[in-house]
Amino acid sequence: MPIFTTNFGRMLGVAVVAAAVGLGTGVALAGQPQMDGALSALQSAQGYLNEVTMDKGGHAAKARRLVAEAVAQVQEGIAYGEAHGE
């Protein structure tokens, strides 16, 4: 019986593919750990801000805009770094 016809086999196959993709991504992003960390933190902040139910005098909306701008800047910085070997 082929291994990928069982549930375990399918899970193993998915895990192997996920690991390979993750390793490839890790290698590509390894040169910019601070920028990657900043992007992750900003995206986390976006998630929290998107859960805010009251506008807080306009401050929540402004914070969402500023964080979105920061995410865009970090993404542009990452792209620049990749293109220029930084």
Q: SS3 for the chain, per residue?
A: CCHHHCHHHHHHHHHHHHHHHHHHHHHHHCCCHHHHHHHHHHHHHHHHHHCCCCCCCCHHHHHHHHHHHHHHHHHHHHHHHHHHCC
Give the total residue count for the chain.
86
Q: What is the pLDDT of residue 31?
A: 85
CB 47 within 8 A of CB 4: no
CA distance 78 to 2: 43
For the chain, 86 residues long, the average pLDDT of each consecutive 10-residue run is 51 47 46 96 97 95 98 98 93
Q: What pLDDT score was predicted for residue 54? A: 95
Q: Is the pTM of this model over 0.75?
A: no
